[in-house]
């Protein structure tokens, strides 16, 4: 407030941290709504009966007298592609989300409102930067970012997956505090390809933290369906959400703040799709007739696997995506249901005929990005959508459900702005993802962690839907339930389910998305009790 008094609303450009705020200045009869640059905190609004209403949760807007809740079919259409709702769309008609790094201004003496972006990543790359300079500055800024995020008068812990991002948080916290007298929390699974608990345990033992492990089982997941969605208010199908809920449920007895590694992949280049982009250039040098006539048929013969990031999954995604342009190839790596596949489960195509293909979100971000190189443009796409619309939703809502505050040091503005100036050859050197971060942490983390393959937090729902969760899935996907929406094709949904049961295709992500959408619909639109 004091900064606003001194600088006016332009003070927003000097803030570094997470926030969503409303500021009313009675002197100029003006309301400001703003959201932090990375979408860590939510802010929703609607214009209804001549007024603008806003809240940090959608459920508050649903209580507006006379407001009619209806599903947003455009949001559903894109949800089928992402398993989350992208951009300013929400699952409800006439309710919007303020985009990250945006400011809305409403002067009550004038009609309407204005919207402007106050933060963006420009990528002014310093091509003369040496690797030594980049590594040293990265370490220093990561250190300072964690140091700032440790300011607290309540206990702080770490969500420790065993990956490099959360391990970095843990190691830096221990160094800054000069002790390891704090709590770390990790998740375990009985399915080995999904379980990183040994690596998390390795880091915790190396540093000496008070470590806790939380086992995720299909029974625990069933207990939270659809309860966990009531903390999001929208359909959401990231398989890390319920595990994060369970972790926070355990952590609340020990800490009030949790550090998380979100943002590491988006700003340091850590996803398999970034590697696919680099390999794509070499692959496309193979004559087209060999790629399409020999390699593609062979890869398509690989048997379906329900393991996490299996060879079958990555190979099929790569060979098909490699034939597309860069933003479409990036999209294909992430897409849940393609445009053709979506048509099979839309109950009335007339509702959706004028909508742009979902890839347009990635294409628009790719074109808007000012970077001169394609890898930074891919990072910009992830920063624009995957980070705020998927990861931050899970991180914020699942921890806040237990009154915990999740802090994300890798979204420190000074760190992000510096990384935008680093040449991409230093971010991703050779085939070494996160080369810069790994180099900065050399000596703090063991080679086991620095060199481990990225797994990422996810549930084995493809398998569980055929076993322990089968009764729930078949009930939710029943023709009667699906047809009750009026816009989903029950026969198309059943076809996906039958192919999945017969292991012809792993439709786990699509089916999990549909299960969560239909559960949301039941609670929020049909308004049936939990």
In tens digits, the chain (530 residues) has pLDDT values of: 999 999 999 999 999 999 999 999 999 999 999 999 999 999 999 999 889 999 999 999 999 999 999 999 999 999 999 999 999 999 999 999 999 999 999 998 887 789 999 999 999 999 999 999 999 999 999 999 999 999 999 999 999 999 999 999 999 999 999 999 999 999 999 988 888 999 999 999 999 999 999 999 999 999 999 999 999 999 999 999 999 999 999 999 999 999 999 999 999 998 888 888 888 878 778 887 787 888 877 877 777 665 655 666 677 777 777 788 999 999 998 999 999 999 999 987 777 888 999 999 999 999 999 899 999 999 999 999 999 999 999 999 999 999 999 999 999 999 999 999 999 999 988 878 899 999 999 989 999 999 888 777 899 999 999 999 999 999 999 999 999 999 999 999 999 999 999 988 899 999 999 999 999 999 999 988 66
SS3 content of the chain, % helix, strand, coil (to 5): 50, 10, 40
Angle between helices 131-149 and 164-177 (to 10 degrees): 70
- 149: its two tokens: 């995020």
What are the DSSP calls for 322-335, one per residue?
Answer: TTS-HHHHHHHHH-
The whole-number pLDDT of residue 310 equals 64
pLDDT at residue number 151: 95
User: pLDDT value at position 41?
Assistant: 97
Best CA proximity match to 214, nearest among 181, 247, 242: 247
| CA–CA gap between residue 346 and residue 509 (Å, rounded) | 17
Cα angle for residues 243, 459, 399 (degrees, 5° grid)? 20
Please count the other Cβ atoms lying within 10 Å of the Cβ belonging to residue 348.
12
Contact by Cβ (8 Å): 211, 160: yes
Position of tokens 């099979």?
344
Residue 375 CA, chain-centre distance (Å), reads: 19
The confidence score (pLDDT) of residue 501 equals: 94
Separation CA 23–CA 33 (nearest Å): 7
pLDDT of residue 281: 79
Distances (CA, A) of 231 to 35, 217, 236, 435, 520: 19, 21, 11, 36, 11
Paired strand residues for 71: 92
| pTM above threshold 0.85 | yes
Q: Please, what are the domains in the chain?
A: 2-117 (3.60.20.10), 131-269+393-450 (3.40.50.620), 460-530 (no CATH)
260 Cβ contact list (under 8 Å, min separation 6): 158, 159, 166, 169, 395, 406, 407, 408
Could you tell me which of 222, 212, 271, 262 has the C-alpha nearest to residue 242? 222
CB neighbours of residue 468 within 10 Å: 14
Measured in residues, the chain has a length of 530
SS3 (DSSP) at 468: coil
Q: Which two tokens stand for residue 432?
A: 């070494």
The CA distance from 306 to 311, in Å, is 10
- At 311 the pLDDT is 65
């Amino acid at each position: 407030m004091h900064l606003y008094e001194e600088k006016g609303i332009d003070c927003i450009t000097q803030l570094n941290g997470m926030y969503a705020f409303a500021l009313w200045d009675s002197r100029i009869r003006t309301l400001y709504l703003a959201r932090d640059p990375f979408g860590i905190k939510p802010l929703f609004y609607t214009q209804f009966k001549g007024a603008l209403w806003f809240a940090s949760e959608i459920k508050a807007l649903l209580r507006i007298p006379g407001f009619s809740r209806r599903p947003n079919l455009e949001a559903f259409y894109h949800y089928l592609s992402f398993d989350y709702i992208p951009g300013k769309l929400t699952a409800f008609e006439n309710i919007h989300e303020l985009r990250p790094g945006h400011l809305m201004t409403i002067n009550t003496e004038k009609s309407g409102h204005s919207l402007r972006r106050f933060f963006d990543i420009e990528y002014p790359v310093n091509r003369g930067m040496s690797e030594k300079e980049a590594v040293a500055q990265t370490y220093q800024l990561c250190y300072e970012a964690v140091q700032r995020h440790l300011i607290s008068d309540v206990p702080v812990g770490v969500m420790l997956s065993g990956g490099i991002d959360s391990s970095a948080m843990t190691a830096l916290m221990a160094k800054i505090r000069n002790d390891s007298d704090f709590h770390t929390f990790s998740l375990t699974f009985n399915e080995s390809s999904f379980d990183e608990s040994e690596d998390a345990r390795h880091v915790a033992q190396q540093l000496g933290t008070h470590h806790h492990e939380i086992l995720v089982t299909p029974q625990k997941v069933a207990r939270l369906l659809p309860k966990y969605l009531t903390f999001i208010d929208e359909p959401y199908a990231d398989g890390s959400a319920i595990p994060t809920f369970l972790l926070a449920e355990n952590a609340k007895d020990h800490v009030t703040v949790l550090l998380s590694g979100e943002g590491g992949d988006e700003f340091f280049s850590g996803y398999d799709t970034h590697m696919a982009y680099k390999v794509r250039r070499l692959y496309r040098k193979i004559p087209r007739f060999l790629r399409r006539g020999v390699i593609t048929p062979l890869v398509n013969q690989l048997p379906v696997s329900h393991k996490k990031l299996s060879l079958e999954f990555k190979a099929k995604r790569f060979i098909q995506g490699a034939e597309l342009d860069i933003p479409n190839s990036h999209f294909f790596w992430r897409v849940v249901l393609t445009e053709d596949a979506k048509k099979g489960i839309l109950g009335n195509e007339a509702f959706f005929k004028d909508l742009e293909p979902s890839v347009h979100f990635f294409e628009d971000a790719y074109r808007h990005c000012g970077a001169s190189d394609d890898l930074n443009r891919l990072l910009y796409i992830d920063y624009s959508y995957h980070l705020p619309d998927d990861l931050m939703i899970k991180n914020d809502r699942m921890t806040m459900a237990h009154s915990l505050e999740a802090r994300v040091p890798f979204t420190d503005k000074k760190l992000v702005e510096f990384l935008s100036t680093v040449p991409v050859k230093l971010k991703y050197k050779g085939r070494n993802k996160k080369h810069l971060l790994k180099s900065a942490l050399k000596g703090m983390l063991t080679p086991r962690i620095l060199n481990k393959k990225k797994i990422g937090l996810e549930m084995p729902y493809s398998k569980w839907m055929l076993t322990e969760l089968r009764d729930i899935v078949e009930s939710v996907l029943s023709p009667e339930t699906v047809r009750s929406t009026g816009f989903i094709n029950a026969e198309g949904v059943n076809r996906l389910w039958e192919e999945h049961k017969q292991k012809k295709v792993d439709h786990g992500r699509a089916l999990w998305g549909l299960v969560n959408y239909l559960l949301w619909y039941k609670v929020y639109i049909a308004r049936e009790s939990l």
